A and B are shown apart, each in its own frame.
Chain A
């Protein structure tokens, strides 16, 4: 059976953290749906590889903590004579730590990358989109921003802030035709988590074995949800947080045996 792909034909999308992991999968999903992708990352290797594979990918090297990044991206858009339809705020960092072991500097880093990095680019994109009649923003939050998590003070706070920002911007900019939604991934196997999944027994037990679907997620699982929310198919959806987590936030500890036979 050949399922059609949600179309993003001719849409221009800026994707941060597009060099690897979830961001890279989003970039591929968008390119295969016909979008033009401005792939932003602070590391050049991944985004250059993306651009070498597709004429529709434009690499922009930059760090989301850099206040001039919006101008750099804007210049790349102007040079290619492109408007802006979609912004995907995916770049983010995570490193679990207990609250008592979280220093001011640690928290500041989460603020700078995961919160201000998202807000600054959103503010720039909103202004641009207001001039062109609308657009769509999808933020990558986390299930750790929705429920209490284990040893994850700074990261969880930062992702809860992303969820609050999503609802707030959706409320303010709905009348301008701009939709703002978030995808909250559960545990996804990426370069960020691969080693931790191997070495941390608790993570495997709590996040995989006790997850209702009992597997780890793939970057493509997240990318499909992002593509749907970004597309015109979701034109009546705004302010929503969609978890792609194998049911993890719905409830854990499945019984070892299925309750009904057959």
Chain B
């Protein structure tokens, strides 16, 4: 590790090996943070690090599963200058309600919520005044078909964000969430079916791109955003605002 890593404030971005997380890592690196790319998938995490270093940014990979509290604690302990935690890693599966099992629910909560809780607790103990936590929620938190377990986990993220904002306010740590609508990640583009319908349901006829989410995360992560906390900002091209849009 170069010594300079200890001087730049550090941002951990979970799930930064892919999609939205990679775009967030890139934007926060541009903002001047040293980035820890925390992902359970080694090759993608290293690819993100390679891309950042190629542009001259400070970055390193931490290959771990965020549902392993010992591993996440060890990561937190290894960072001298923790300033920002972006809880982005998440899972998503489509299961019709009638086929949904309690195990589907448990697994979803394990990754999307409990891991977020554990990491936030560990990180908040280490963060100085002015620390920032940004959580990835979803527009789906407010209702969607065929993934009740995901919807419930993301609604929980919204509540968790607000509760944490209140508890960490005394330490001047802000906690906010970004709730993406449909974002064009590689995964989504691969699944060609339904893409046109998704586009047509957008007021602007456009899907979001990972950078749209990254900019919003950057707004909350900025040290100057010191009076904004407990917010859940929906970034969905307006799809959920108009009463006539179909979900």
B171 lies within 8 A of chain A by Cβ: yes
In contact, B162 and A258 (Cβ under 8 angstroms)? no
How many A-B Cβ pairs are below 8 Å? 139
In contact, B235 and A171 (Cβ under 8 angstroms)? no
In angstroms, Cα B67 to Cα A215, docked, is 36
Contact check: which of B162, B167, B204, B216 meets A177 at CB < 8 Å?
Answer: B204
| Interface window among A68-76, A104-112, A150-158, A229-237 | A229-237
B19 lies within 8 A of chain A by Cβ: no
Q: Chain A residues with Cβ under 8 A from B228's Cβ?
A: 221, 225, 242-245
Take A3-B223, A238-B237 as given contacts and tell me if A171 and B242 are in contact as well, using a CB distance cutoff of 8 Å.
Answer: yes
Closest residue of B by beta carbon distance from A262: B125
In contact, A171 and B237 (Cβ under 8 angstroms)? no
A95 CB, nearest partner CB in chain B, Å: 24
A33 CB, nearest partner CB in chain B, Å: 13
Indicate with 1 or 0, residue by residue over B48-90, a CB within 8 angstroms of chain A CB atoms: 0000000000000000000000000000000000000000000
Closest residue of B by beta carbon distance from A251: B166
Q: Chain B residues with Cβ under 8 A from A240's Cβ?
A: 233-234, 241
Contact check: which of A3, A179, A234, A259 meets B224 at CB < 8 Å?
Answer: A3
In angstroms, Cα B201 to Cα A174, docked, is 12
In contact, A212 and B215 (Cβ under 8 angstroms)? no
In contact, B241 and A242 (Cβ under 8 angstroms)? no
Q: Chain A residues with Cβ under 8 A from B204's Cβ?
A: 174-175, 177
Take A1-B8, A214-B170 as given contacts and tell me if A242 and B231 are in contact as well, using a CB distance cutoff of 8 Å.
Answer: yes
Most A CB atoms within 10 A — which of B209, B225, B241, B242?
B241
In contact, B238 and A239 (Cβ under 8 angstroms)? yes
Indicate with 1 or 0, residue by residue over A145-167, a CB within 8 angstroms of chain B CB atoms: 00000000000000000000001
In angstroms, Cα B244 to Cα A246, docked, is 33
B118 lies within 8 A of chain A by Cβ: no
In contact, A245 and B31 (Cβ under 8 angstroms)? no
A260 lies within 8 A of chain B by Cβ: yes
In angstroms, Cα B233 to Cα A233, docked, is 14
In contact, A3 and B222 (Cβ under 8 angstroms)? yes
In contact, A213 and B229 (Cβ under 8 angstroms)? yes
A217 lies within 8 A of chain B by Cβ: yes
Take A177-B204, A238-B238, A239-B238 as given contacts and tell me if A213 and B169 are in contact as well, using a CB distance cutoff of 8 Å.
Answer: yes
In contact, A174 and B227 (Cβ under 8 angstroms)? no
In contact, B227 and A212 (Cβ under 8 angstroms)? no
A41 CB, nearest partner CB in chain B, Å: 24
In angstroms, Cα B167 to Cα A246, docked, is 13
Closest residue of A by beta carbon distance from B218: A233
In contact, A235 and B212 (Cβ under 8 angstroms)? yes
**CB-CB contacts below 8 Å: B82-105 with A:** none
In contact, B235 and A4 (Cβ under 8 angstroms)? no
In contact, A175 and B216 (Cβ under 8 angstroms)? no
A170 lies within 8 A of chain B by Cβ: yes
**CB-CB contacts below 8 Å: B186-237 with A:** 203-206, 208-209, 212, 215-216, 218-219, 222-231, 233-237
Q: Chain B residues with Cβ under 8 A from A246's Cβ?
A: 169, 227, 229
Q: Chain B residues with Cβ under 8 A from A233's Cβ?
A: 215-216, 218-219
A56 lies within 8 A of chain B by Cβ: no
In contact, A250 and B241 (Cβ under 8 angstroms)? no
